[in-house]
């Protein structure tokens, strides 16, 4: 998949998968590998140095989401933070109730964790969404009960970019005495987040989606909420998550959060413009293309369309050859042979799901990149459609 004989530019449009580490972030991290290598638990200069760096990073992460530094727990990433939030609450509050609420369109880190809890004996309600991928707060209100201990609904949907009404959902959870968790891996740094205003008790963050290093994330836990630790050992992270801290990673994550916060208003507006240009171009330049996700309540960097009568992988391979990186919800690209559970929950047919393409924009992208995609994609689609037995007149 490496030969790109026809690529006139390299256009990375898969920022929802991961992002490069920014130079400023890398520079901030470098001293903490060899020079300032101390263990933050140690009682000596090397230890203090590491401790101080972690404290500083904790403040920066907290500041991005309107939290206090003491409400931030560092983890190995978004997946671990989701696991800690959901299992941690479920296990700590089991005596208060046995019912949990989530949605059908959560990231697998959330979805599969709830499925395991279901096997452990918890009762889990998986709420549906509408055709735009929106969860209706009224559905939460109808599902919530006296014995509901946790509601978990994501903030920005990772595949289709729909921004969920978590403020309203959080309020409903609060009224009923349930805790509210939200996975904000895709939305943090992209749209403003204030945990107090959004009525969130627990919030998941990831570093590598916002130009920080991989292998580090955080869980915001509002003051007074107790969790059952999922990784046991030493007294790290307020005894909630044992293990010697990943100091360079945490430092990088902190710096990434600081930069994201400083640049958010401008960068979000810039990406929204590019996003809308790409969406409009795809819908206008290629016949039988439909937009997936909400047209307005949408993350600024997400474009998701279905190209009818085609399968996603065949388009991705052609795009890659032209230097363009994107992703698809097709079964053939999932690794599990199952098409996107999100698109299916939105009511798309299997065929349309197989033809889905996600372009996720980021810092490096320019208007020229968008023009390039709009120039090369139509002939790719035309060529593949000429090969496909499906089409508008197809009897299949």
Partner 1 sequence: MYNDKVMDHFFNPRNVGELENPDGVGQVGNPVCGDTMRITLKIKDNRIEDIKFRTFGCGAAIATSSMVTELVKGLTLEEALEVSNKQVAESLGGLPPQKLHCSNLAAEAVHAAIQDYYKKQGLVVSDDNGSSHDHSTHDHSVDDESSEE
- Does residue 310 bind partner 1 (CB under 8 A)? yes
265 close to 231: Cβ distance less than 8 angstroms? no
Q: How far apart are CA 92 and CA 88, in angstroms?
A: 6
Residue whose CB is less far from partner 1, 248 or 329: 329
Query: Looking at 201-301, which runs of residues are DSSP E strands?
Result: 202-206, 217-221, 289-291
Q: How far apart are CA 65 and CA 56, in angstroms?
A: 15
From the list 49-57, 160-168, 330-338, 356-364, the region that binds partner 1 by CB under 8 A is 330-338
The pair of structure tokens assigned to 101 is 């609420």
162 close to 132: Cβ distance less than 8 angstroms? yes
- Does residue 389 bind partner 1 (CB under 8 A)? yes
- Does residue 135 bind partner 1 (CB under 8 A)? no
Q: How far is the CB of 8 from partner 1 (least distance, A)?
A: 17
Residue whose CB is less far from partner 1, 129 or 315: 315
- Does residue 392 bind partner 1 (CB under 8 A)? no
Q: Work out whether strand 356-360 and strand 324-325 pair parallel, antiparallel, or are unpaired.
A: unpaired
Q: Which of 162, 186, 206, 330 binds partner 1 (CB under 8 A)?
A: 330
- Does residue 387 bind partner 1 (CB under 8 A)? yes
From the list 8-16, 155-163, 252-260, 335-343, the region that binds partner 1 by CB under 8 A is 335-343
Site string for partner 1, 357-386 (x = CB under 8 A): -----------------------------x
- Does residue 393 bind partner 1 (CB under 8 A)? no
Q: How far is the CB of 336 from partner 1 (least distance, A)?
A: 9
Active site residues: 332
- Does residue 354 bind partner 1 (CB under 8 A)? yes
Coil vs helix vs strand at 100: strand
Q: Work out whether strand 302-307 and strand 356-360 pair parallel, antiparallel, or are unpaired.
A: antiparallel
DSSP 336: S
Q: Please report, for residues 9, 225, 246, 262, 287, the alpha-carbon distance to residue 361 in angstroms, rounded to integers and kept in the order given.
A: 16, 36, 28, 19, 23
> Which burial class, exposed, middle or buried, applies to 335 when counting CB atoms under 10 A from its CB (0-12, 13-18, 19+)?
exposed
- Does residue 290 bind partner 1 (CB under 8 A)? no
Site residues (CB under 8 A) for partner 1?
A: 1, 3, 309-314, 317-318, 321, 330-333, 335, 337-339, 349-351, 354, 386-390, 396
């Amino acid at each position: 998949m490496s030969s790109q004989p026809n690529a006139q530019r390299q256009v990375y449009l898969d920022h929802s998968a991961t992002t490069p580490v920014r130079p400023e972030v890398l520079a901030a991290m470098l001293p903490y590998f060899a020079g300032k290598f101390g263990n933050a638990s140690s009682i000596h200069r090397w230890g203090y140095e590491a401790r101080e760096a972690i404290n500083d990073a904790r403040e920066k992460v907290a500041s991005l989401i309107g939290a206090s530094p003491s409400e931030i727990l560092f983890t190995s990433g978004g997946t671990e933070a989701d696991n800690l939030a959901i299992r941690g609450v479920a296990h700590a509050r089991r005596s208060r109730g046995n019912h949990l609420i989530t949605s059908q369109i959560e990231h697998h880190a959330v979805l599969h964790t709830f499925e395991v809890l279901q096997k452990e004996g918890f009762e889990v309600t998986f709420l549906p969404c509408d055709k735009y991928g929106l969860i209706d707060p009224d559905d939460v209100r109808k599902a919530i009960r006296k014995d509901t201990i946790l509601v978990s609904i994501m903030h920005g949907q990772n595949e289709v970019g729909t921004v969920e009404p978590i403020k309203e959902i959080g309020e409903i959870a609060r009224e009923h005495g349930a805790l509210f968790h939200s996975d904000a891996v895709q939305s943090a740094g992209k749209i403003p987040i204030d945990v107090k205003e959004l009525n969130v008790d627990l919030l998941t963050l990831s570093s590598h989606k916002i130009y920080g290093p991989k292998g580090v994330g955080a869980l915001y836990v509002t003051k007074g909420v107790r969790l059952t630790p999922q990784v046991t050992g030493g007294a790290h992270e307020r005894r909630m998550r044992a293990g010697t801290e990943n100091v360079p990673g945490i430092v990088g994550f902190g710096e990434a959060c600081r930069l994201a916060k400083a640049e958010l208003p401008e960068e979000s507006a810039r990406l929204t413009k590019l996003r809308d240009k790409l969406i409009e171009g795809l819908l206008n330049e290629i016949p039988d293309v439909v937009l997936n996700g909400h047209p307005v309540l949408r993350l600024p960097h997400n474009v998701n369309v279905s190209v009818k009568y085609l399968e996603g992988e065949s388009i991705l391979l052609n795009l890659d050859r032209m230097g363009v990186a994107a992703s698809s919800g097709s079964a053939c690209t999932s690794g599990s042979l199952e098409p996107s559970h999100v698109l299916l929950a939105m009511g798309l047919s299997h065929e349309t799901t197989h033809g889905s393409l996600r372009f996720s924009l980021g810092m490096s992208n320019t208007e020229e990149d968008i023009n390039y995609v709009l120039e090369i994609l139509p002939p790719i689609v035309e060529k593949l459609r000429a090969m496909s037995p499906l089409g508008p007149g197809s009897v299949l």
